[in-house]
Amino acid sequence: MLNRKVFGVVIGLSALVGASSLAHVEDVYIPLVSKGFQHQFWQAVKAGAEQGAKEHKVRITFEGPETEAMVDKQIDMLSAALAKKPQAIGIAALDSKAAIPLLRRAQAAKIPVIAFDSGVDSDIPLTTCATDNLAAAALAADKMAQAIGNAGEVGVIVHDQTSRTGIDRRDGFLNEMKSKHPNVKIVSVQYGGGDHLKSAEIAKAMIQANPNLKGIFGANEGSAEGAAIGVKESGKKLVLIGYDSGKEQKDDINSGLMAGAITQNPIGIGKCVVDSAVKALKGEKLPKKVDTGFYWYDKSNMTDPKIAAVLYD
């Protein structure tokens, strides 16, 4: 298996923990506030966090709003988590700016903050456990260009334009196309909130509005699977490139509906959060970012042990 790390926002040890050891480790509580709960990706992140908690003998909770469009609800969850005076906290921010006032409160209370999956526009998090989304989306652009013969019209469906992951995956894809594949034209960039049904409707509208469309890139699990549903319902054959690796995407790749996708290492992200929080509580210095890695996968390499280890159901 891959070396799995955990991303998170760690919020402080206060009096419970000594500088060199976690004295009453069973008393250490680290809440993780996620961007969502509905996608298989987040369930895999949770599994990784639980693995880390068991290893370090600390207590965690893992929660997120029902959809990745509910920024206000996530902020309420973060506020409630801080009110419990945790030793550290992890946050996967839906909005790279909205969480900052609460993170300042955590910092003032000497609660270590660990960011995961999606960072914030602040240096308050001691580290961010995440995929290099700019590089991963650039690889997706290269694969799309290759699949459509380096020329033609392409659409992009992104989960949001407020989170770091949404911004970086969009820009990584667009910038790579512009600099390396100038004959590929991006005709539409739309935002579906990571929702399968909304993304499916966007895909169908995109196909109708652009009769020469050759491909669609879906920038997260919900976007990619929604695009696949939309393409299937439209009856048109397109090149679909996805992101993440839930069961539906793997089925679509095996059936030929989707060409391939980028997989992250969600279990590693979850574990990295808890690992990083515990290190912070011990007084260890953390790198500003932990790159948890990514891979391109398609029908040809899904059973490769290195790839299979980071695919999830």
Per-residue pLDDT tens for 270-284?
Answer: 999 999 999 999 999
* 276 and 213 belong to one structural domain: no
> What span, in angstroms and rounded, lies between the C-alpha atoms of 294 and 288?
19
Average pLDDT over residues 31-52: 93
* 80 and 170 belong to one structural domain: no
* 39 and 82 belong to one structural domain: yes
Does residue 312 lie within any of the structural domains? no
Longest dimension (CA), the chain: 64
Does residue 204 lie within any of the structural domains? yes
Q: What is the pLDDT of residue 26?
A: 57
* 125 and 223 belong to one structural domain: no
* 181 and 254 belong to one structural domain: yes
Asked if pLDDT for residue 16 goes beyond 50, the answer is no
**CATH number for position 112:** 3.40.50.2300
Asked if pLDDT for residue 1 goes beyond 70, the answer is no
Mean per-residue pLDDT over the chain, rounded: 91
Q: What is the pLDDT of residue 312?
A: 79
Beta-carbon neighbour count of residue 307 at 10 Å?
17
- C-alpha to C-alpha distances, 313 to 4, 229, 245, 275, nearest whole angstrom: 17, 18, 8, 24
- Provide the domain limits for residue 207: 133-263
Structure tokens at 165: 């992951």
> What span, in angstroms and rounded, lies between the C-alpha atoms of 107 and 58?
21
- pTM for this entry: 0.85
* 139 and 256 belong to one structural domain: yes
Stretch (H or E) spanning 282:
none
- Is residue 11 within 8 Å of 111, Cβ to Cβ? yes
Minimal CA–CA distance to 139: which of 181, 163, 173?
173
Q: What is the pLDDT of residue 4?
A: 37
